[in-house]
Amino acid sequence: MHTVVVGTSGATASDVLAVARDGARVELSQEAVAALAAAREIVDALAAKPEPVYGVSTGFGALATRHISQELRAQLQRNIVRSHAAGMGPRVEREVVRALMFLRLKTVCSGHTGVRPEVAQSMADLLNAGITPVVHEYGSLGCSGDLAPLSHCALALMGEGDAEGPDGTVRPAAELLAEHGIAPVVLREKEGLALLNGTDGMLGMLVMALADLERLYKSADITAALSLEALLGTDKVLAPELHAIRPHPGQGASAANMLAVLKDSQLTGHHQDDAPRVQDAYSVRCAPQVAGAGRDTLAHARLVAERELASAVDNPVVLPDGRVESNGNFHGAPVAYVLDFLAIAAADLASIAERRTDRLLDKNRSHGLPPFLADDAGVDSGLMIAQYTQAALVSEMKRLAVPASADSIPSSAMQEDHVSMGWSAARKLRTAVDNLTRVVAIELYAATRGVELREGLTPAPATRAVIEAVRKAGVQGPGPDRFLAPDLAAADAFVRDGRLVAAVESVTGPLR
């Protein structure tokens, strides 16, 4: 099994994906253990002094003015975890919880938090045992970190609350820890706070969304090319020299992908056969511009994620010169903004894909295709309601594109008077990514049927590879009406697991 070694300098996106989705094991580097021990010595020295130090010998948030005596500090750290584990609503997905646990461990190992090495090792042990704390949908405002979600994880580390075992069964965390030989952690000064105070949940969801969207943008380039073919559109608008004079990188990449898919197609460039049409509609002609803008948004979001992955997010932090300083680095604004930006881009990509699907189904705009791509229009409804489903998905995505990060609800008696709502931005982006997958799948379903109905014209080799692969995947071709939901589900799986991109790349080589 793949092992991810956690050091002091952050983590990579591939590390997060390996732990969150693939169940990779986690190990602490010797460098990290040494840094943990050194930072802990600083915290212990400050804890022994009479002067109050925030997070070490004081209360938290609006209660930071109270100096806590030594005999109450273990109780203080235990209490902050218990009281902050106040989430409600449905359970959060296992991969999200594993991502936030790993990312909190990444920050702990930076040597800036003051957590003891044995606590960090217990965090790694929990991940390696496949124990996933129960985390709920609601509870994070994205400032002072993802407090409630991280608190539920810390609670399990203490042997309290519920968790899901490696067999998928939810049980008391204490039982699961005992079965795997993990001793419950007894927290000391600053450790409870250090386990809660990070952007780990929203960052983990950002990293996973970026991986999914990278695949989906390639998929959307493919389905746009197939729709262009089915509509007998022109590929001249994809010429590199046209995109070079507006040098947005994403636009050029999308155009190049579409051109690669359409290479050697006999369906493109038939405008001369239809005199009123001198150019294609925007949804076809401007596909690279819209998808390209989304690709550039991905690039910006990836840069933000990389910076955050290299960060140590905690409050207070232990500095190399021995100071323990309060700060505001836990504020989720940088991550929240790009999460919202990605939801906007995803909604627009879905919107243009739906417009192409609608055009394929409309006999007045499809340039010779049967109404709704039906076998016997009137007796058969064809893909009429598949487009309804697609439209419903797009409509929800437009609602999800309303930014969460523009909102703020003050908390903690106005001490925390401006929050990022980054967790909420991440949660709605996950729904948007799921919906975008379904939207692209429906365009794929319609476009492949449209291409197959163009008798006498040979599609591009890459298109033929897609049609062959998707039919083998259980997505049926043209014919009389049938129960459509299984076909759409199979198309969704075909896009979601990367088989669509793989089918094209088997012909074209790697897409951009």
Active-site amino acid positions: 54
> CA 40, 109, 321 angle in degrees (round to 5)?
50
Assess contact for 420 and 143: CB atoms under 8 A: yes
Distance CA 461, CA 444 (A): 16
- Of 205, 15, 5, whose CA–CA distance to 124 is shortest? 5
Q: How many CB atoms lie within 10 A of CB 3?
A: 11
Assess contact for 28 and 110: CB atoms under 8 A: no
For residue 276, cis peptide bond before it (omega within 30 degrees of 0): no
- State the residue for tokens 């022109």: 234
Q: What is the 3-state secondary structure (H, E, C) of 203-232?
A: HHHHHHHHHHHHHHHHHHHHHHHHHHHHCC
Distance CA 235, CA 359 (A): 17
Provide φ and ψ at 377, rounded to 5°: -55, 130
Structure tokens at 8: 């002091």
Pair type for strands 317-318 and 170-172: unpaired
Task: State the DSSP code for 363.
Answer: T
Distance CA 114, CA 40 (A): 4
Distance CA 437, CA 494 (A): 10
128 contacts: CB under 8 Å, gap ≥ 6: 25, 26
Q: How many CB atoms lie within 10 A of CB 113?
A: 32
- State the residue for tokens 């050029």: 252
